[in-house]
Structures are given as C-alpha cells and as structure tokens.
C-alpha cells in the first residue's frame, strides 16, 4: 500500500497582516520560512509541509476560542519539538514578544509518559501546540506498532480495522 504524506494545509483567516505578524514569530523560529506574502494569502514551508493562509474572501468558518475546560481541543495543529527545553525556550521567546500561551508548558503524562506541551491561540482562534516526547518513548512506540503489524493475519484473515482511540487518549491540547 502506498503511503500518503501530508503536503499542505490551507486555513482561512480574517486578516492577512495580523496573521503574517503572528506566524512570522511562531513558525519561522521552528524551521518554516515565509515564501510568499500577497494581499489575500501567504505561505510558509519547511520544504516538506506547506501552510497556506487565505484571507480576503467571504468567511465560511467562524471559530470560537477554547474555554480551557476542554479535555481535548479537537481542532489544533501540533508541532513536535526536539525536547522539553526547546518547548520551554519557545514559550519564553514568544512571551517576550507578548504572545502568551493559552495552556502554559507543562507535563501531560495522561497522554504519554514524558509528553510535555504548551499551546497558543492565533488571531483566528486556531490552536497551536508545541510538544516534546522523549525519543526513546517514540522509538519504543514505533517498535511496538511494527511488532503489532507483523503479528496481524494476512489479508482476508481476521480483522484489519485499527483500534479506535478514546477521546482523552493521545490528546495534543487540553
């Protein structure tokens, strides 16, 4: 089976100038570069994944900010950082630039042992998370999944449906 790779994400925004000011400070320091900026759209890429922000249109989407009481914020973008220290450093730098976290940096062992994250809300109520997970945990999880796939019966024998996750498992933002 061919593997699909996420190539781009397009998000509707209400104000391109405000969006540019926010994402130049949020995305550029974590490895993305702004490669286009026009009156009605802008784009950032890391060479693999591209984010398009589209404005100047009749708005189809109206987002409401999270309340802080959610177990999981259903719609959010999560960026894996190399370490807890990297998450803390970005939080400190964004705070210096007066971009304050909605959920401050803290451990979330309820997601996975070693999971550490902070979340922000952009000008259009898009929730963004920076998280880290110790590499050994990620490698162990990969080995476990690979072993599970290896034990699955051949096509036509047994169920091929993946396990369903509960809402509170693997959440990336509160």
Q: Is residue 148 very low, low, confident or very high in pLDDT (cuts 50, 70, 90)?
A: very low
Query: Which candidate, 49, 44, 24, places its Cα nearest to that of 34?
Result: 44
Question: For the ranges 38-47, 120-129, 138-147, 162-171, which has the lowest average pLDDT?
Answer: 162-171
Mean pLDDT, rounded, for 50-70: 80
- CB pairs under 8 A, 24+ apart, for 59-64? 59/12, 59/14, 60/12, 61/12, 63/124, 63/125, 63/126, 64/125
Q: What is the CA radius of gyration of the chain?
A: 18
Name the fold adopted by 1-57: 2,3-Dihydroxybiphenyl 1,2-Dioxygenase; domain 1 (3.10.180)
**Which pair of tokens denotes residue 114?**
């070693």
**pLDDT value, residue 66:** 81
Q: Where are the domains of the chain?
A: 1-57, 70-152
Q: Which CATH superfamily is domain 70-152 in?
A: 2,3-Dihydroxybiphenyl 1,2-Dioxygenase, domain 1 (3.10.180.10)
Per-residue pLDDT, 141: 54
Residue 96: its pLDDT value, please?
97
Write down the pLDDT at residue 57: 66
For residues 16-29, average pLDDT: 97
Q: Tell me phi and psi for residue 64, to 5 degrees.
A: -110, 145
Give the chain's mean pLDDT.
81
Helix (H) or strand (E) holding 85, with range, is helix 84-96
Cα 82-41-14 angle, rounded to 5 deg: 90
Residue 142 has pLDDT above 60, yes or no: no
Predicted confidence band of residue 72 (pLDDT cuts 50, 70, 90): low
**Fold equal for 1-57 and 70-152:** yes
What pLDDT digit, counting tens, does each position of 93-114 carry?
999 999 999 999 999 999 999 9
Q: What percent of the chain has pLDDT over 90?
A: 60
Mean pLDDT calculated for residue range 136-153: 51
Residue 145 above 70 pLDDT? no
Q: Are 119 and 70 in contact (CB under 8 A)?
A: no
């Amino acid at each position: 089976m061919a593997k699909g790779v996420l190539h781009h994400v397009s998000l509707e925004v209400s104000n391109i100038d405000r969006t540019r000011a926010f994402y130049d400070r949020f995305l550029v320091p974590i490895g993305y570069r702004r490669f286009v900026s026009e009156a009605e759209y802008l784009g950032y890429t890391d060479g693999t994944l591209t984010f398009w922000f589209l404005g100047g249109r009749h708005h189809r989407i109206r987002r409401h900010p999270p309340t802080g009481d959610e177990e999981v914020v259903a719609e959010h973008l999560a960026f894996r950082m190399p370490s807890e220290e990297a998450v803390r450093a970005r939080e400190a730098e964004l705070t210096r630039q007066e971009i304050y976290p909605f959920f401050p940096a803290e451990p979330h062992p309820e997601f996975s042992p070693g999971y550490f994250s902070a979340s922000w809300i952009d000008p259009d109520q898009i929730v963004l998370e920076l998280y880290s997970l110790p590499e050994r945990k990620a490698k162990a999880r990969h080995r476990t999944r690979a072993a599970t796939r290896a034990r699955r019966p051949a096509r036509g024998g047994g169920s091929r449906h993946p396990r369903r996750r509960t809402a509170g498992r693997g959440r990336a933002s509160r």
